[in-house]
Amino acid sequence: MPPDPMQPLSGGRHPLHQRQIDSYPAPFLGGWYAFAHDEELKPGGVIAFDIDGESLVAFRSKDSPNDVGVLDRHCPHLGADLSQGKVCGGSLECPFHQWQFGTDGCVTKVPYSAAPLKASLRARRWYATDFHGVFCVYIDGDPARRGQPPPYQLRRYPDVDSGDMVLRGRRDAGMLRLHIAELAENSADVAHFQYLHGHMTIPFTGIRVPGVTIHHDVLWFADPDQREFAGFRDVAVLEVGGRRLPFTTATAEVRFFGPGSVMQFGFAFPDLGELVLFQTHTPSDPADPMMHRVRFRWYASKRVPRALVSYVVGSWMAQLQADIDIWAAKRYRDKPMLMPEEHQLLEMRRWYRQFYPSHRTARHDAAVADELQVQPARAGWQPVVVDAEAVAPSS
């Protein structure tokens, strides 16, 4: 049976599991992490979740449905599980002694006490946001800095906010085993596009079309406006019998808002509008830091036909599955053996280092220093910032 691109992604487990984890610099990176979609956390709802050893509770205000609070899951009073509580107006009420907490963590009510509610009476709050229907929380890679305001915000998509683009689908792809760095590595690994993603397939089947290939022109870039953002632009064109067909040229752009926990895939349909798909990865198994829950949510301009949206989304999933099959069995190379044409991979790694907490990266830092020593011509190298608009489609 050919693979169905809309079926759950398959990550699987591998006998070399622990040795694979050990090959990466750190299992958890600081960033925004999705914990629920709009439909799962209604106004007045409460859910519990764990990320990187932190037990958290999220609740959504009844008074202001856009207001979502994320707090330490266990009550600062005497430790009850706040996820067993209920939402009263804009506060979360503990089930034990009925203290109430606002979305900012401050105690708003102690029903049996007349004492003033000092500012120090609070639960640890975590910064959360409603990102186009995906609730995300910021978790710093450094435990000592957790609970502080996030260093950056997710960038919203204006056409989704304005209503020009509407929700077309969402999908929980289940659990997938990968190190999140692979998503960024993949974006700058320009050589693999041709070999892993260079085949035309019949829509919704994964069956290759004989004689038809896809030529990719990929450029990785760091965002000039936001140091935590990067991405790549792929100008793809079909080739039939070795001949390029310029009228089939299509441009897609992928952006990373942080280390890969929140990604955005954008695709333009000439004369019709756009598609934007948000892909999130959240470590969701305390026993295995490489097990991620993967979710998608996508929006498109109203004029783009449903079948076209499904085809592009399905193709994105099928290409992702091809990567996953490689990631499931590979290891991370601190010092990869690269050809000169692969310099974007090193540029990406320099960009990516900002997400590794410094206390966990001694081995990785040493590897980067080594790399610079063995290639003195690149010792003065700085992250390359490319204006994405300057990358014109090939004709």
The burial of 71, by beta-carbon neighbours within 10 Å (0-12 exposed, 13-18 middle, 19 or more buried), is given as: buried
Of 108-116, 179-187, 231-239, 377-385, the window that binds Fe ion (rule: CB under 5 A) is 179-187
Token pair for 385:
């910032």
Taking the mean position of all CA atoms in its chain, how far away is CA 75? Answer: 30
Q: How far is the CB of 279 from Fe ion (least distance, A)?
A: 13
Token pair for 274:
């756009």
Q: Which of 7, 42, 64, 78 binds ligand FES (CB under 6 A)?
A: 78
Nearest CA among 302, 250, 299, 298 for reference residue 273: 302
* Under 8 Å between Cβ of 366 and 358: no
Instruction: Please report, as residue ranges, which positions from 231 to 260 form the binding site for ligand FES (by CB under 6 A).
Output: none
* Under 8 Å between Cβ of 280 and 136: yes
Taking CB within 5 to 8 Å according to partner kind, which of Fe ion, ligand FES, none is near residue 329? none
Angstrom distance (rounded) from CA 299 to CA 130: 15
Token pair for 121:
């009476």
Of 72-80, 184-192, 263-271, 307-315, the window that binds ligand FES (rule: CB under 6 A) is 72-80
Taking CB within 5 to 8 Å according to partner kind, which of ligand FES, Fe ion, none is near residue 323? Fe ion
Q: Show the site string, 96-115: x = touches ligand FES by CB under 6 A, - = not.
A: xx-x----------------
List Cβ neighbours of 259 (8 Å cut-off, separation of 6 or more).
29, 30, 31, 180, 181, 184, 352, 355
> In terms of CB distance, is 253 or 323 closer to Fe ion?
323
Does the footprint of ligand FES cover residue 80 (CB under 6 A)? yes
Q: How far is the CB of 322 from Fe ion (least distance, A)?
A: 7
Q: How far is the CB of 102 from ligand FES (least distance, A)?
A: 14
Q: Which of 323, 345, 349, 391 binds Fe ion (CB under 5 A)?
A: 323
Long-range contacts of residues 78-81, Cβ cutoff 8 Å, at least 24 apart: 81/48, 81/57
Question: What's the angle, vertex CA 295, arms to CA 319 and CA 262, rounded to 5?
Answer: 85
Does the footprint of Fe ion cover residue 280 (CB under 5 A)? no
* # chain residues binding ligand FES, by CB under 6 A: 9
Nearest CA among 271, 298, 295 for reference residue 284: 295
User: How many other C-beta atoms can be found within 10 angstroms of the C-beta atom of residue 229?
Assistant: 19
Q: Which of 94, 136, 137, 222 binds ligand FES (CB under 6 A)?
A: 94
Does the footprint of ligand FES cover residue 77 (CB under 6 A)? yes
Does the footprint of Fe ion cover residue 223 (CB under 5 A)? no
Of 78-86, 252-260, 271-279, 368-376, the window that binds ligand FES (rule: CB under 6 A) is 78-86
Instruction: Please report, as residue ranges, which positions from 127 to 166 form the binding site for ligand FES (by CB under 6 A).
Output: none
Taking the mean position of all CA atoms in its chain, how far away is CA 98? Answer: 36
Q: How far is the CB of 100 from ligand FES (least distance, A)?
A: 9
Does the footprint of Fe ion cover residue 315 (CB under 5 A)? no
- Please give the residue ranges that form the binding site for Fe ion (CB under 5 A): 186, 323
